[in-house]
Structure 1
């Protein structure tokens, strides 16, 4: 005789309304909902609004690529966000725009003659070289205008020798020109000093506190000590190495090391590490023929953009490549921008293209951005800078701004091609 099963015990005498759930239960339910559903629920009541914002939106957006709000950031990578008050939900929306290629494009400073500029981005300002001039343009909160086309101040004249590279630390600029001269400029006090450092074109410069470094493409790298004299800076040569580089960068931990990349090395030993105090040069085991830009991720890690179509992360403690990303279309990396967390944007050699990489995801390109082909079909991206909502890139003939926080954005998603065709 088979046993009869009793009906399941019902502990509730009535159906439970979602509003009667405790906070922990609400969090468990809400974490499975889509962004659209959460947007509707947040309007139901103040309790839902608080739970979703504090426990759902904040956790989802904390470690997002480009738009995350982690507490920890490297001090040598300053914040650039024009809008520092983005809500958690807004950050998720912005991330989706970066991820799926939704943005509006603006064009500034068109010039018919082919040459490229260097740019530096801050929270309120975009600094841009224009031939022999250094210009400061104010960034605008207005999403339609983005940038003030009229410079707030201009240093130098257009007929001066071109500025090849510039760096800014606090209020102080240090820049090198094609005639081998440099200048130091304080944008707060207004003092300006020009000094001849070498007879060769300066390809890259850097400075930290009282140490100033400049290099030429093939002949020399010189170290200078800066002495303050009544709001002025006098540079006195400290030492010189008889080897030149395309790009250099002082380490963020006391500037005791200099990462340097050669323009060409047949033996694929283009990346060097220089001990500043002892003037000793060592070769890092990152096999590449040319390094176009180098940057420190932290005191032990170097980032490089290379001629051989790769972006690399190198650990100086082991002198080995930690990770390598290769461009799917075999184009050189002319420049890159690091946000201090996980995101790297690489300016490529052809077609106005920018690649987005996530340092947590090895070997994969997350997304590509193609600026419109105005005036040229093949321009490289020569200089690049971005915050969490805007991307600035320099082409042969102008400056382009891709705004990911704008209305009526056109979707340009290349994820399908990357995942299904190239990998």
Structure 2
């Protein structure tokens, strides 16, 4: 007796279909109504989603969580194939050093000495007027970080300020740095700040007391708490041939370990992120994105990706799995990297005829926001 494909149980057919690529599923769905119905089920697309990037399973946005898994896979393929719409959302009029943070349906953006909060519209656009405006720095804001109801910023005036997000009012001002505060981070009741004055300071958010000062012996460009551990990392400029990436103990402020040995002079760290308790990503003037496992070999990175144009990498973001987005120092170049590939997956020249560095970028499952010197742009990957 011959056994036909259609005689198999639906569960077996689901399993078979889920091993096909997207193009093959599209052709197979034209066979008959039953196969078409099976090809639309989430159980088929969940297995396919594991092979894609930025699928958005952990996205906090309710608009993205409600998307069917098949639609998420379609959008993910747009990321992989570079299909998107590039649109300018805002022109600044003057050249700035903007910094972004994207949280749910709110976009936070520095504008000189101010921090603006915009509530995003369903189509990803931003309103003309910000919802909240944080005004208090005497000079440009270099970096800020928002976690929950708390926002902390550092500026070129040497001040670190904590804000009430909803009202935009100042909660506390922390004085102590004698140079530009290039980076800040926040963890529960602790604030971390790094400055051009070659120091890293740990503050109490509520009392404003400085617990201790770490002398980094070089200009500090990046600081980041380990969310799962009692440690933090600092990234410095590497002007004085001191290894720029170092891990410190939160409790004592003492050096735990030096990460990496092969940095050349001036190849400093500009941005860094913890992906897990032991996985660290870094980028900077050495033109590489490096992935470190701080449990084992501290001298050599686990993976590294080289910028093809030999440009400094100003900022990076990851989806927590396989996708990394990076912003280059020249021509508004944004690159997408897949950890499973050795070469760049996609390159976008954000805004034609713009030679600005990409100072900051943030993305969710459907859109990426890119801050250049004179404008804010959006790449929308939902287009068909």
Q: TM-score, normalised by structure 1?
A: 0.81
> Would you say 1:384 and 2:368 are equivalent positions?
no
How far off is 1:387 after superposition? 0.7
Structure 1 residue 293 corresponds to structure 2 residue 271: yes
User: Cα 1:382–1:81, aligned 2, differ >3 Å: closer, same or farther?
Assistant: farther
Structure 1 residues 217 and 160: alpha-carbon distance in aligned structure 2, compared to 1, 3 A threshold: closer
Partner of 1:241: 214
Root mean square deviation, CA, Å: 2.4
Q: CA deviation at 1:202?
A: 0.5
Instruction: Look up the SS of the partner of 1:253 in the other structure.
Output: coil
Match for residue 396 of structure 1? 373
In the TM superposition, what whole-angstrom CA distance separates every residue of 1:6-37 from its partner, at most 9, and x where no partner exists? xxxxx24xx95x54432244235534362422
Q: Shift in Å at residue 369 of structure 1?
A: 1.3
SS of match in other structure, 1:246: strand
Assess, with a 3 A threshold, how the Cα gap between structure 1 residues 190 and 129 changes in structure 2: closer, same or farther: closer
CA–CA distance in 2 between the matches of 1:268 and 1:214?
A: 19
Counterpart residue number, 1:277: 251
Partners of 2:25 and 2:68 in 1: how far apart?
A: 14
Gaps of 5+ in 1: 1-10, 228-233, 408-423
Tell me which residue corresponds to 2:26.
36
Deviation at 1:302?
1.1
C-alpha change, 1:25 and 1:239, in structure 2 (3 Å) is closer
The question of whether the paired residues in 2 share the 8 Å contact of 1:354 and 1:368 is answered with yes
* Alpha-carbon offset, residue 342 of structure 1: 1.7
1:323 equivalenced with 2:303 (yes/no) = yes
The structural deviation recorded for 1:114 is: 1.2
Deviation at 1:109, TM superposition (A): 2.1
Partners of 1:147 and 1:50 lie apart in 2 by: 39
Contact 2:119 2:131 in 1 (8 A): yes
| Aligned counterpart, 2:241 | 267
User: Per the alignment, do residues 260 and 133 of structure 1 end up closer, same or farther by CA in structure 2, a change over 3 Å counting?
Assistant: same
The answer (yes or no) to whether the contact 1:94–1:389 under 8 Å persists in 2 is: yes
Which SS does the other structure have where 1:401 is aligned? Answer: strand
1:342 paired with 2:319, answer: no
In the alignment, the residues of structure 2 paired with residue 224 and residue 125 of structure 1 have an alpha-carbon distance, to the nearest angstrom, of: 27
Alignment partners' CA distance in 2, 1:210 and 1:68: 30
Relative distance call for 1:332 and 1:296 in structure 2 (3 A) is same
Q: Find the residue that maps to 2:324 and give its secondary structure.
A: strand
Deviations 1:192-213 (A, max 9, x none): 2342232211011112111111
Question: How big is the shift at 1:245?
Answer: 1.1
Paired position in structure 2 for 1:166: 144
1:265/1:316 CA distance change after superposition, 3 Å: farther
Asked if structure 2 preserves the Cα contact closer than 8 Å seen for 1:308 and 1:332, the reply is yes
- 1:275 CA drift (Å): 1.4
Secondary structure of the equivalent of 1:147? coil
Map of 1:419 onto structure 2: none
1:372 and 2:347 aligned = no
**In 1, Cα distance between the equivalents of 2:332 and 2:274?**
25
Partner SS, residue 65 of structure 2: coil
- Pairwise CA distance, 1:242: 2.2
Aligned residue among 71, 77, 97 for 1:90? 71
Match of 1:214 in 2: 193
1:35 to 1:104, Cα distance in 2 relative to 1, 3 A: farther
In the alignment, the residues of structure 1 paired with residue 47 and residue 15 of structure 2 have an alpha-carbon distance, to the nearest angstrom, of: 13
| SS of corresponding position for 1:102 | coil
Q: Is the 8 A contact 2:164 2:171 kept in 1?
A: no
Residue 246 of structure 1 and its aligned partner are, at CA, apart by 0.7
Gaps of 5+ in 2: none
Alignment size in residue pairs = 372
Q: 2:334 corresponds to which residue?
A: 354
Q: Is the 8 A contact 1:286 1:314 kept in 2?
A: no
Structure of larger gyration radius: 1
Q: C-alpha separation between the residues in 1 aligned to 2:313 and 2:201? A: 26
